[in-house]
């Protein structure tokens, strides 16, 4: 996944009693508020009973010392891609623990674990759209450890020496648009994600929201590659995956 700019972790604060959408909300806005959301949610997502699924940090798209663009397909834009507006985009980097490359170093890659990562990305997006003013797009970069074929995404990476032209390693990202998630911002969070705690890897396919999470996030799944622009800045290029 693309390198993320680590920000100072803001202290999470409890919302006042009676908050209609969620029982917690960030105390700040912008990148600081986004990091508070990441710090609040990520410990609840577990790779095992003792291991957190991923550490989540914000990606600073407005850092002049480390310029970074996120570009997405747009058939009407020059070259077929357009850069997301950094002033209205929040990026999150989900980095697995116990490894050197941000992959999840405990447990086994599986469709269940990928679905749980997709749920976490969705919840990050919902909180960001609800509480961070002006945010129109949320991009979540997922830990590596997946392969893609011409026909479908595979949760498990190909064994060493067995990758072929029909099955290649792929880094994944999820992109969410505020307008698409607006219906879920107009009703309490627990009507969308009912549990007070996220399900475990084994529980997630049986969770009441699993089908909804799968449908919403399948629409926003992209292959993610980091490239260098002509001006020397880095670009995170998001390209569509085969229909899942």
pLDDT value, residue 243: 61
Cα angle 224, 229, 230 (rounded to 5 degrees) comes to 160
Report the distance separating Cα 138 and Cα 181, nearest Å.
Answer: 11
Which of 24, 34, 74 has the alpha carbon at shortest distance from 56? 34
Report the distance separating Cα 203 and Cα 145, nearest Å.
Answer: 21
- pTM of the predicted structure, to 2 decimals: 0.84
**Residue environment code for 136-162, b if the CB has 16+ CB neighbours within 10 A, otherwise e:** ebbbbbbbbbbbbeeeebbbebeeeee
Low-confidence stretches of the chain (pLDDT beneath 70)? 1-19, 147-167, 243-244
Report the distance separating Cα 222 and Cα 1, nearest Å.
Answer: 12
Contact 103, 143 (CB under 8 A): yes
What are the structure tokens assigned to 162, written together?
Answer: 């067995």
Task: Express each pLDDT in 62-84 by its tens digit.
Answer: 888 887 899 988 878 887 889 99
What are the structure tokens assigned to 143, written together?
Answer: 């830990």
What are the structure tokens assigned to 207, written together?
Answer: 């969770």
Please write down the HEC assignment for all residues of the chain.
CCCCCCCCCCCCCECCCCCCCCCECCCCCHHHHHHHHHHHHHHHCECCCCCECCEEEEECCCCCCCCEEEEEECCCCHHHEEECCHHHEEEEEEECCCCCCCCCCCCCCCHHHHHHHHHHHHHHHHHHHHHCCCCCEEEEECCCCEEEECCCEECCCCCCCCCECCEEEECEEEEEEHHHHHHHHCCCHHHCCCCCCCCCCCCHHHCCCHHHHHHHHHHCEEEEEEEECCCCCEEEEEEECCCC
pLDDT value, residue 119: 98
pLDDT value, residue 2: 38
């Amino acid at each position: 996944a693309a390198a993320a700019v680590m920000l100072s972790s803001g202290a999470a604060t409890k919302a006042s009693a009676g908050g209609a959408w969620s029982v917690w909300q960030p105390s700040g806005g912008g990148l600081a508020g986004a990091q508070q959301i990441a710090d609040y949610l990520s410990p609840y997502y577990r790779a095992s009973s003792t291991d957190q699924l991923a550490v989540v940090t914000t990606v600073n798209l407005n850092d002049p010392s480390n310029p970074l663009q996120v570009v997405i397909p747009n058939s009407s834009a020059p070259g077929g891609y357009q850069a997301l507006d950094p002033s209205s985009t929040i990026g999150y980097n989900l980095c697995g623990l116990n490894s050197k490359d941000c992959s999840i170093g405990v447990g086994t890659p599986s469709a269940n674990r990928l679905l749980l990562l997709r749920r976490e990305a969705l919840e990050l997006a919902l909180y960001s759209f609800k509480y961070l003013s002006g945010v129109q797009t949320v991009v979540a970069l997922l830990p590596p450890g997946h392969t893609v074929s011409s026909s479908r995404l595979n949760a498990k990476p190909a064994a060493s020496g067995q990758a072929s032209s029909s099955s290649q390693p792929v880094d994944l990202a999820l992109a969410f648009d505020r307008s698409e998630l607006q219906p879920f911002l107009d009703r309490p969070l627990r009507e969308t994600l009912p549990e007070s705690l996220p399900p475990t890897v084994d529980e997630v396919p049986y969770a009441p929201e699993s089908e909804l999470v799968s449908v919403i996030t399948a629409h926003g799944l992209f292959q993610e590659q980091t490239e260098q622009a002509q001006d020397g800045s880095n670009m995170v290029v998001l390209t569509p995956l085969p229909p899942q």
